[in-house]
Structure 1
Amino acid sequence: MRINMFKKMGPGVLVAAAFIGPGTVAICTMAGVRFGYGLLWAMLLSIVATLVLQEMAARLGVVTQKGLAEVIKEEMAVPWIKVLIIGLILAAIVLGNAAYEGGNIGGASLGLEAVFGDGYTRYYPLVVGSIAFIILFFGNYRLLEKVLVSLVLIMSISFVLTALITKPDILGVVRAIIFPRAPKGSILTIIAMVGTTVVPYNLFLHTSLVREKWKASTDLKAARQDTFWSIIIGGLVSMSIIVAAAAIPSVEISTIMDMAKGLEPLYGDSAKYFMGVGIFAAGLTSSITAPMAAAYVVNSCFGWNASMKDIRFKLVWMLIIGVGVLFMSLGIKPMEVIQFAQVANGMLLPIIAIFLLWVVNRQKVMQHYRNSLFQNIMGIIIILLSVFLGVKSILTVFGLI
């Protein structure tokens, strides 16, 4: 039965692969090192919020057989608002993913360095970029699905094993999940954890990907199961990283691989290799899904109706990968672009969450597949949270908090 479940997994796994990138790994590491098990509840909250929004996105994609940007263009009646939102989407997703792609490739390169040593460090970004390029260039949806399902399973096993070898206090873990508390100085870390898990581009990615696998509303049950299990697995991975990082005796952790070094004296070389494989898989999956999401968004915004084999679709993701490799190979740190992307994403998440909640309640769009009362209540809570996070992220970028 479990094997059959994994065979049925598809777009949801790609979404999980997208949000468990080097950024999520780094934030979860810092959360574990600084606050022990104390913020596990915040990760659980992030996963619940992700489940609610991604289920809406998947349902919208299956029922309408359209991407989220396409639906926005069709349902927005006021032309200037439509142009403004589409422009913001393009800026946040395309420029943002181009900037973050360097971090994705850099994270996967760190994983290679942990496993194979630092003798070839300068070549690792090119290796990672080439792997992502080959998979996207020669792959169709089914191949991508199989590759990313495999990578997510490898990543999951690596991080869960890393957590298990630290022999965690199970009672302490359960207590931290059930009884929320915010230790002193943890607010920004909590915001960062939610912000790296509930991300706007995954909503666009999910509505586009479900159309590749499912073609009728009768497939909604399968789409929901796929979403549920995939994001639960993603949450388990994130929590495992926090648990593993909590075992590190030192608080002087500045990079993800410092975590492996911190575990090594107590748990041997295995910690380094498990972490290396895990961070490589996390970086590579995000290096594939970020360019693909950007291509889907551009495709929807400009109404190309292009397939994955279309040259226009390919040119977009090629550009994103190329920028990422360039940033890492030349040692460029695109901080200004990343800061702009953070501001744009901070503005975009509440807007998209509000629009998503609105559109999945419209009978014209969803027929009898509209939200239930419970889904609407959860959606409103998440929107309020996303507004708070958006304001916080913008204020943080400008140094006002």
Structure 2
Amino acid sequence: MASKSRSGIGKKLALFLPGIFLLGFNIGTGSVTTMAKAGATYGMSLLWTVLISCLATYVMIGAYGRYTLVTGETALQAFRKHIHPLVGLFFILALTAGVSGSVMGVMGIIAEISFEWSKSFVAGGIVPIFWAAFFVALVFLIFWNGRTQVFERALAVIVAIMAASFVLNFFLLMPPPIDILYGLVPSVPETQSTDRSQSPLLLIASMVGTTLFSGLFIIRTTLVKEAGWTINDAKKQNQDALFAVVMMFVISAAIMAASAGTLFAEGIGLDRPAQMISLLEPLAGQFAASIFAIGIIAAGVSSQFPNVLILPWLLCDYQNSKRDMTLPKYRIMVFFISLLGLVVPLFEARPLIVMIVSQAFNVALLPATVACIFYLGNRADLMGRHRNSLITNFCLAAIFLFSIVTGYMGFQGLLAMVAG
């Protein structure tokens, strides 16, 4: 009986594993620091950006997932075969460049947060480079097994810890409910600082970039294909996508609220990730600060799994080859990408601004990502009666315009930061 019970739980968990993988990919330290900075600087007034981005993410996951359900092709295979090989190569290069920067920033933030947090139980704290080396080794050792199922189940545990930490912190530190409701009304607040990195335009673009991440939709098609889903599994695919997107919104809103209810309420900004720990502790207590630290560390580790894997996965997709991560060439790739996580602690760089700018840069890829699935999803020879509906096409067109507008806002924010 116990065996049957465990089997039933396993089957239910398997239903949501692709969604959990996406959640771990999406909610990393880039999301945490961007949401925390937005909350500390502008309270809940930019919550509408998260809501719109999550709704758009659901549409994009559905469109890309449906394409693979119908054709059995991943995104990169479709780009290469039905658009142009250079389009696929463009996405591989652009996503690899973006993820390489993310690996450096993510591990730098994890190391900095861990160092600050360790001061509460070790005199002087454990230096960041040791933390970075530990987490780099942890991720690489789990990768060494080589099977996607191992990554997904490890992520399920880490994502559960992350979600529980941030949701608990929300109830401990939440701002007034009326502020949360007002935050759902679209508006662009006035700049609250001479620091150009705190421009609302740059933060909006960064929030869109970290949620509507092109790599998310491309990797999604790989997971759908590997799961063996077909068009008969459309309901399963939609449930999985809905679960991922709802959790994205809940966790992102909880991070913003924790920052808004403390740092914004006290008129304190946020320049370095470690400030979240040192500033939260006197305002909310050691327990709340520790819970937030655990959430950030879990978010960083969960996002590092897909980050270090994305290049070999994309190459396998593009070449339509078996995704065997035990091959020496892929292990070498992942090893060197993992080592990038030591760069920020070694050179004592400041990762927060780099993370925000890199997330804003992701918006530049979004219009091309939307245009590709709009074209592929409307081809009768590929999709047959499952072509994009009028509603889907309208939503994709709206997302395309939204990405152009937020991309322009991010560009203006970057120009203002450089000029400043």
The structural deviation recorded for 1:32 is 0.8
Determine the structure 2 residue equivalent to 1:16: 23
Q: What's the TM-score, normalizing by structure 2?
A: 0.85
Q: Is the 8 A contact 1:346 1:394 kept in 2?
A: no
Q: What one-letter code is carried by the residue in structure 2 that aligns with 1:27?
A: T
1:368–1:316 Cα change, 3 Å: farther
Residues 1:191 and 2:205 aligned together: yes
Determine the structure 2 residue equivalent to 1:247: 261
Q: Is the 8 A contact 1:91 1:344 kept in 2?
A: no
Which stretch of the first structure deviates more once superposed, 50-59 or 238-247?
A: 50-59
Determine the structure 2 residue equivalent to 1:324: 341
The structural deviation recorded for 1:190 is 1.5
Which of 67, 72, 96 pairs up with 1:94?
Answer: 96
Identity of aligned residues (%): 24
SS of residue matched to 1:43:
helix
C-alpha separation in 2, matches of 1:27 and 1:341: 11
Determine the structure 1 residue equivalent to 2:197: none
Which of 61, 65, 82 pairs up with 2:68?
Answer: 61
Determine the structure 1 residue equivalent to 2:287: 270
The structural deviation recorded for 1:15 is 1.4
Determine the structure 1 residue equivalent to 2:243: 229
Q: Deviations over 1:301-350 (max 9, x none)?
A: 34434333333443333332122334544446799x98997797444221
The structural deviation recorded for 1:236 is 0.5
Which stretch of the first structure deviates more once superposed, 100-109 or 295-304?
A: 295-304
C-alpha separation in 1, matches of 2:351 and 2:157: 31
1:167–1:324 Cα change, 3 Å: closer
1:170–1:6 Cα change, 3 Å: farther
Which of 76, 82, 100 pairs up with 1:75?
Answer: 82
SS of residue matched to 2:173:
coil
Q: Is the 8 A contact 2:117 2:277 kept in 1?
A: no
Determine the structure 1 residue equivalent to 2:106: 104
C-alpha separation in 2, matches of 1:332 and 1:250: 26
Which of 365, 375, 386 pairs up with 2:382?
Answer: 365
Q: What one-letter code is carried by the residue in structure 2 that aligns with 1:44?
A: L
Q: Is the 8 A contact 2:272 2:350 kept in 1?
A: no
Which of 146, 165, 168 pairs up with 1:158?
Answer: 165
C-alpha separation in 2, matches of 1:167 and 1:97: 32
C-alpha separation in 1, matches of 2:12 and 2:181: 27
The structural deviation recorded for 1:116 is 3.0
Determine the structure 2 residue equivalent to 1:140: 147
Q: What's the TM-score, normalizing by structure 1?
A: 0.89
What is the CA RMSD across the aligned residues, in angstroms? 2.8
C-alpha separation in 1, matches of 2:65 and 2:15: 15
Q: Please list every run of 5 or more consecutive structure 2 residues that lacks an aligned counterpart in the other structure.
A: 1-7, 120-124, 192-199
SS of residue matched to 2:229:
coil
1:400–1:392 Cα change, 3 Å: farther
C-alpha separation in 2, matches of 1:312 and 1:253: 41
Q: How many residues align?
A: 394
Which of 226, 233, 236 pairs up with 1:219?
Answer: 233
